[in-house]
Amino acid sequence: METTAKSIDTVTARWKLTRVVVLALLALTFILVIAGIPVALALPAVFISALGGVFGALALFRTGEMWGRAALIALALLFSLSITFQLALGSILTTLPLLLLGYLMILFFVEAFDALSKHSQMHSREMLQLQASRAIPAIEKSLQHVLRKMARLGLMLGACYLLTLTAVSLGSYLASFSSLAPDTSIYIVAVSVSLALLLILREE
Amino acid sequence: MTLTKKGVVYLVIAYSFIGLSLILKESALTAFVIPTALLLLISSHVSRPPELKVTRRIYPQRSFGDEDIDVRVEVNNNSNRTVNELDLEDQIPESLTMGVGTRTLTTYLRPHEQVEFSYRISAPRRGSYALGPILLRRSDFMQFHEYKGELPVRDELTVMPKIEKLGPIALRARRVGQWPGLVPSRRTGSGTEFFESRPYALGDELRRINWKASAKAGVLITNAYEGEQVTDVLVVVDGSEGTLSRVFDFDVAEFELSLAASLCSQLINQGNRVGLSVYSAVRTWVDPGFGKRQLLRLLNGLAVASPGRASIPLQYAVESVIVSMVAAKSVVVFISPLMDDQIVRVMTNLATRGYEIMCFTPATVVDLAGMAESEILARRILAVERRIKMAEVAEVARLIEFSPRLDIKQELRRWKPRQRA
Summarised one tens digit per residue, pLDDT across range B300-319 is 999 988 888 777 887 887 78
Predicted pLDDT of residue A183 = 57
Residue spans per domain, chain B = 2-42, 52-159, 180-229, 232-414
Residue B53 has pLDDT above 50, yes or no: yes
Using CB atoms, which residue from B40, B42, B106 is nearest to A119? B106
Count the Cβ atoms, other than its own, within 10 Å of residue B132. 18
Question: What DSSP character marks residue B43?
Answer: T
Orientation of helix A65-89 relative to helix A42-61, angle to 10°: 150
Count the Cβ atoms, other than its own, within 10 Å of residue B147. 16
Beta pairing partners, B151: B134
CA B35 to the chain's CA centroid: 58
CB B305 within 8 A of CB B284: yes
Nearest CA in chain B to A192: B37
Predicted pLDDT of residue B372 = 81
CA distance A49 to A43: 10
Could you tell me what percent of chain B has a pLDDT over 70? 93
CA distance A77 to A47: 12
Give DSSP secondary structure letters for B176-209.
--SSEEEEEEEEEEEEEEEEEEEE--TT--GGGB
Q: Do A134 and B116 touch (CB under 8 A)?
A: yes
Predicted pLDDT of residue B267 = 92
| Chain B stretch 138-167, residues whose beta carbon is closer than 8 A to a beta carbon of chain A | 141-145
* H or E element at residue B406: none
Q: Do B116 and A138 touch (CB under 8 A)?
A: yes
Give DSSP secondary structure letters for A7-66.
HHHHHHHHHHHHHHHHHHHHHHHHHHHHTTS-GGGHHHHHHHHHHHHHHHHHHHHT--HH
* H or E element at residue B152: none
Q: Which domain holds residue A49?
A: 2-201
Q: Give the ipTM of the model, two decimals please.
A: 0.85
Q: Do A167 and B42 touch (CB under 8 A)?
A: no
Question: What DSSP character marks residue B29?
Answer: G
Q: What is the separation, in whole angstroms, between the first and last Cα of chain A?
A: 51
Q: What are the angstrom distances between the C-alpha of A161 and each of A93, A98, A146, B30, B383? A: 15, 10, 22, 13, 83
Angle at B285 between CA B235 and CA B390, to 5 degrees: 35
**B44 CB near a chain A CB, below 8 Å?**
yes
Give DSSP secondary structure letters for B80-137.
SS-EEEEEEEE---TTSEEEEE-SEEEEEE-TT-EEEEEEEEE-PPSEEEEE--EEEE
Using CB atoms, which residue from B15, B28, B120 is nearest to A92? B28
CB A28 within 8 A of CB A108: no
CA distance A138 to B105: 9
Residue type, A152: R
CA distance B323 to B342: 16
**A40 CB near a chain B CB, below 8 Å?**
no
Residue B245 has pLDDT above 60, yes or no: no
Handedness of CA A79, A84, A88, A93 (dihedral sign): positive
CB A101 within 8 A of CB B71: no
Q: What ranges in B305-363 are assigned the alpha helix state H?
A: 314-325, 342-352
Count the Cβ atoms, other than its own, within 10 Å of residue B391. 11
Residue B209 has pLDDT above 80, yes or no: yes
- Name, in order, each residue with C-beta under 8 angstroms of B59's C-beta and a sequence gap of 6 or more: B69, B70, B71, B72
Question: What DSSP character marks residue A90?
Answer: T
Could you tell me what percent of chain B has a pLDDT over 90? 18
Count the Cβ atoms, other than its own, within 10 Å of residue A17. 10
Orientation of helix A92-120 relative to helix A132-177, angle to 10°: 160
Average per-residue pLDDT in chain B? 84
Residue B108 has pLDDT above 60, yes or no: yes
The B134-139 sheet, strands edge to edge: B2-3, B145-151, B134-139, B83-90, B104-109
pTM of the predicted model as reported, rounded to 2 decimal places:
0.73
CA distance B129 to chain A (A): 22
B232-414 falls under which CATH superfamily?
Answer: von Willebrand factor, type A domain (3.40.50.410)
* H or E element at residue A93: helix A92-120
**A120 CB near a chain B CB, below 8 Å?**
no
Question: What DSSP character marks residue A121?
Answer: G
Residue A55 has pLDDT above 80, yes or no: yes
The string of pLDDT tens digits covering residues B74-85 is 999 988 888 888
Number of domains in chain A: 1
The string of pLDDT tens digits covering residues A143-186 is 999 999 999 999 999 999 998 888 888 777 766 665 555 555 56
Using CB atoms, which residue from B3, B42, B100 is nearest to A130? B100
Among A72, A94, A117, A141, pick the best mutation site for testing chain B contact (most B Cβ within 10 A): A141
Handedness of CA A156, A158, A161, A165 (dihedral sign): negative
CA distance A128 to A139: 8
Of A2-6, B223-227, B289-293, B364-368, the one with minimum mean pLDDT is A2-6
Nearest to A30 by CA among A47, A10, A9, A7: A47
B52-159: what fold? Immunoglobulin-like (2.60.40)
pLDDT class of B195 with cuts at 50, 70, 90: confident
